Structure 1
Amino acid sequence: MASTQGLKFLEAQGVAVTLHPYDYDPDADAVGLAAAAALGLDPGLTLKTLMVEVDGKPACCVLASDRHLSMKKVAAGFRGKAAAMMPPAKAEKLTGYRVGGISPFGQKRAVPVLFDAAPMTAPKVWINAGQRGLLLGIAPDDALRVLAAQALPLTA
């Protein structure tokens, strides 16, 4: 299995993860939900990575695949006034990952990261490993620690 920048980053941090490959569906309406279904995982613990801009500055939000961001909460969480989704081409250039395979770990340019608080009380969550069709299982505390991230309510 190919090693991704995200997996290399986590290995360098000494974080143990489990790998969960699945058949990526490029036509899926919701990649995170399709991944959860393919692997038989709880969509509330299968997290998606969304790149946003807060007051024009890049940031990253990680939330359950069955939830939607509240841009008002995102802006407040990053102490800004306005938040919007980052255009896909800009997200790919900034992270070094392709849409559908964006991971919060090992991005080409480190940006501030917030996790939605709801799934972060579970013993394990699943997040994209940096490649389409590959999730990693990780303890939420490890994810927060290595990214210097906070867990705040981010969903509508």
Structure 2
Amino acid sequence: MSIESVCQYLARWGRDKDIIVMEESTATVALAAAALGVIPARIAKSISLRVEKDGVPAAMVVVTAGDVKLDNRKYKDRFDLKAKMLSPGEALEYTGHAVGGVCPFALPPGVEVYLDVSLQRFQTVYPACGSGNSAIELTMDELKEYSASLDWVDVCAPIGA
């Protein structure tokens, strides 16, 4: 059902027909890169994190390049809280998307989206579209607009660093 909500959401920009649905899984960076024929770094990975708003559990989505990981120190310095990943059940409950298809589109009200600067080195990237076998190619300006991102942040480090 999630991909349908993303299709409806992206239709407001006429981009619903640009969603790529594949036979194979795109649920991980490696699988998505192989299915799309791009380097893993160009996969826009959506990380769903637990936050609190007025004492109530909520979610935040940070979209990063596929070749980086969340840097706990940078995240804490930026958001003044410890990074806590949502469980698969929480991800579905709070974002409306299952793990493997979490994306920055068609999110429930109150879910904040931030884009990591690791994405800015690319002309286009491929975020998921609400399922474990979908993606769309977007420019940075399109990703910022369509995700209703609040800001560009620097909260990641290279994998292995």
Q: Smaller-chain TM-score range?
A: 0.7 to 0.9
* Cross-structure match for 1:52: 49
How many angstroms apart in 1 are the aligned matches of 2:25 and 2:84?
A: 26
Shift of 1:71: 2.4
* Cross-structure match for 2:114: 114
- 1:66-116 CA deviation, whole Å, 9 max, x = no partner? 221112222333x32322111221111111111111111002344111111
Structure 1 unaligned residues grouped into runs of 5+: none
Q: Describe how 1:1-156 pairs up with structure 2 within 5 A.
A: 4-12=4-12, 14=13, 16=15, 18-22=18-22, 23-24=24-25, 31-54=28-51, 57-77=58-78, 79-146=79-146, 147-156=148-157
Q: CA RMSD in A?
A: 2.3
Shift of 1:7: 2.6
Structure 2 unaligned residues grouped into runs of 5+: none
Is the CA contact 2:62–2:113 (under 8 Å) kept in the aligned structure 1? Answer: yes
SS in 2 for 1:4: helix
Is the CA contact 1:101–1:133 (under 8 Å) kept in the aligned structure 2? Answer: yes
TM-score (norm 1): 0.82
- Using the aligned pairs only, state the percent identity: 22
TM-score (norm 2): 0.80
| One-letter amino acid matched to 1:118 | S
| One-letter amino acid matched to 1:50 | I
How many angstroms apart in 1 are the aligned matches of 2:136 and 2:104?
A: 11
